[in-house]
Structure 1
């Protein structure tokens, strides 16, 4: 997959394009992705157009926490068979671009869009004046096919990134899995930790997510870790390890059942299935070890191993 980020200097030919924020790449987004990958059979490139930073960052002093970071988003889109991911720079100039100019300059001249699919609530351009009606009006002028997809619902509830973000923040991982169509995950390179787990018989992998990565509440989770395409069951702690000295940054530490290979430097994916308990402060390493024994027993029962 070609990745074009932070620049307006690109040119594509014969594109099938979907546009949006794509924060979460949830079930609704997946409908759009499936539509453009189907167009590859007609000789079109499957292209996702999004923004390099979440648009809210430009409109607010608060940095938006992302369900998936830029790197994670690339990883997921590659799995869907996308040809091109464009993370367009979201600047004041972009924000103030008239929607007619966006259609002409970006969709037509830069992407040569022959097929466009968007959600029914898609808006773009200055003051969000551009919408599906405008895209339809210009379809005849520029000769592209437009398809509009209604919002997807589950149990009468609209699927949205804000809803998913809320469920993640509550630790409702089973509900998150339903809305995303996959388990919520954290991806990254395994780093050297403080190796305290090894001293009490529980060696763990150690990830330090990017600052803007949205994480579930501190605590212990049932998890699946993907390493080189193979899935391994385990339990994962999210937090600052208060019992052994609070870490300055939040960490994601995973114990893998019956796995003892060296993972330092490996790029892995940790998927969260269920929240077992909150993070606790124990009076000693012995108390911590006793609780971890209980956690592992629960995990083995969960996976039936």
Structure 2
């Protein structure tokens, strides 16, 4: 997959384009992308178009934690069959572009779109003044077809990135996974921790996720860890970790069952399945070790029926 990011200096040809923020790549987004990739059989190049900076970051001048980082978005777009992912720069000039100018300058001139696929609530241009009806009118004027999908509902509510974000923060991982259409995951490079787990005979892999990555509440989770295209069952803790300058930031610490490889310096990805328990303070190392054993037993029971630790 080709990745074009943070630049307006490109020109594609003969494309089918899914347009949106795609900060969740949830099951609603996948309908758009699947439709676009299906048009490859008609000779069109499948393009997913999103923005390099989450629009709310600029508009509200505050940091928005992301369901997927840029690297994670690239991975998912590629898995879904996208030929080209465009992560377009979102700055003041773009934000103030009139809807027709966006259609003419970006959709037509830069993307050369023959088909544009959006959600029914898609808005674009200055002050979000452009809507689907306007986009269809521009399509008739400039020669591209517009396909608009209805919102996907789950349990009577719309599936949206906002809803997913709220449920991640509440630790409702199983619902999050249903809305995403895959397991919510966190990735990073394994670093040295305080080695406490190793002294207890329970060595763990530690990493610090990207600063803009949205993380669930501190606590313990049933997870699977992906290492070099292999997947292993694990129990994972999300919690504050001491870093340089004695400041705390959220980190991920995971104990992989029946695993002896050296992971330091490797990038791993942790898929979350369900919440096990919240954070606890322990009076002794022995009490901590006993709790970890209970956590491991819970997770093994959760994955009961899988014959191997790697799948």
Same-fold call, TM > 0.5? yes
CA contact (8 A) 2:184 2:271 kept: yes
* Structure 1 residues not aligned, in runs of 5+: none
Which string of whole-angstrom CA distances, capped at 9 and with x for unpartnered residues, describes residues 36-59 of structure 1? 110111111111111111001111
TM-superposed deviation, 1:258:
0.8
Equivalences for 1:174-193 in 2 at 5 Å? 174-193=174-193
Match of 1:267 in 2: 267
Equivalences for 1:217-232 in 2 at 5 Å? 217-232=217-232
TM-superposed deviation, 1:241:
5.7
Which string of whole-angstrom CA distances, capped at 9 and with x for unpartnered residues, describes residues 128-160 of structure 1? 111111111122222212111000111211101
Distance 1:247 1:200 in 2: 26
Distance 2:104 2:227 in 1: 44
Distance 1:194 1:39 in 2: 52
Q: 1:23 aligns to what SS in structure 2?
A: coil
Equivalences for 1:11-50 in 2 at 5 Å? 11-50=11-50
CA contact (8 A) 1:16 1:39 kept: yes
Distance 2:241 2:266 in 1: 23
Distance 1:191 1:37 in 2: 38
Match of 1:111 in 2: 111
Match of 1:299 in 2: 299
Distance 1:26 1:229 in 2: 23
TM-superposed deviation, 1:247:
6.6
Distance 1:258 1:81 in 2: 34
Runs of 4 or more above 3 Å deviation: none
Equivalences for 1:18-97 in 2 at 5 Å? 18-97=18-97
For the aligned residues, what is the CA RMSD? 1.4
Distance 2:240 2:30 in 1: 34
Match of 2:136 in 1: 136
Which string of whole-angstrom CA distances, capped at 9 and with x for unpartnered residues, describes residues 176-216 of structure 1? 11111111110222222222211111111112011111100
Which string of whole-angstrom CA distances, capped at 9 and with x for unpartnered residues, describes residues 242-268 of structure 1? 9xxx87221111111111111222222
CA contact (8 A) 2:26 2:181 kept: yes
Which string of whole-angstrom CA distances, capped at 9 and with x for unpartnered residues, describes residues 107-148 of structure 1? 010010011100000000011111111111122222212111
Distance 2:164 2:234 in 1: 24
* Structure 2 residues not aligned, in runs of 5+: none
Distance 1:19 1:189 in 2: 31
Alignment of 1:248 with 2:227, yes or no, is no
Count of residue pairs the alignment pairs up? 302
Q: 1:249 aligns to what SS in structure 2?
A: strand
Distance 1:76 1:269 in 2: 13
Distance 1:134 1:274 in 2: 43
CA contact (8 A) 2:241 2:248 kept: no
TM-score, with normalisation over the residues of structure 1?
A: 0.96
Tell me: CA distance 1:226–1:247, structure 2 relative to 1, closer, same or farther (3 Å).
farther
Tell me: CA distance 1:241–1:64, structure 2 relative to 1, closer, same or farther (3 Å).
closer
Equivalences for 1:281-296 in 2 at 5 Å? 281-296=281-296
CA contact (8 A) 1:240 1:247 kept: no
Q: 1:12 aligns to what SS in structure 2?
A: coil
